[in-house]
Amino acid sequence: MATVPRIVSPPARYDAEGRLLPLNEAEKTQHAAAIEEAIRLLAEIPDDPNEDDAEFFRAFDESHPGRPSFTGLY
């Protein structure tokens, strides 16, 4: 099965009262880059299930007898 890349956005920051602090410009740039990378990676996912997907679908349906979710996809 394929590995999943880690997309990193800047962590949220809070003041002493627990209110969310706005992102600074560098954090906004980092967050935007993380979103763009995530969208690029999502666009690379094929629409048709591959063999790894079929194995997962089959195992999931077998573990949910009477309630299959992926019938016809494996």
Number of domains present in the structure of the chain = 2
60 in the same domain as 26: no
37 in the same domain as 4: yes
pLDDT tens digits, residue range 23-51?
999 999 999 999 999 999 989 887 776 77
1 in the same domain as 37: yes
Residues in Cβ contact with 57 at an 8 Å cutoff, skipping those fewer than 6 apart? 49, 69, 70, 73, 74
Indicate the average pLDDT of the chain.
87
Q: Could you tell me the pTM of the whole model?
A: 0.54
Residues in Cβ contact with 74 at an 8 Å cutoff, skipping those fewer than 6 apart? 49, 53, 54, 55, 57, 58, 61
- Which has more pLDDT, 8 or 37? 37
